[in-house]
Amino acid sequence: MNRTEFIIATAIVLFVAFCMGWFANWLVHRFIRVSGSDVGELERMAQELHEAEETRDQAITYLQQREAELTNQLSQTEAELSATMDGLREARHEAEELRNALEKNRA
């Protein structure tokens, strides 16, 4: 095999390797290519996820406001209960004093 034949054989081998690489690349990209419908579906899912996150944030905000309102109502009710209990205690004490005074007057 002389020099010219060696160069031609090497060129053919390199060309065949290039063609095989190009074909393999085309084949891989053909199978992993994302179709337009898949991209559309991914965009729709992303939009739905965004809307769900907004809904969740609104629900959390509402629950925090509602919890603050209920806590405020509870503390007001507890204050009213305490005042009522104090008034009842004073009324009982006064009634007891009046009973004792009445019994003293009868005796």
Each residue's pLDDT tens digit, 27-56: 998 888 777 778 889 999 999 999 999 999
8-state DSSP, 107:
-
Mean pLDDT of each 10-residue bin along the chain, 107 residues long = 91 96 92 80 94 97 97 97 96 94 87
Q: Tokens 């390199």 label which residue?
A: 14
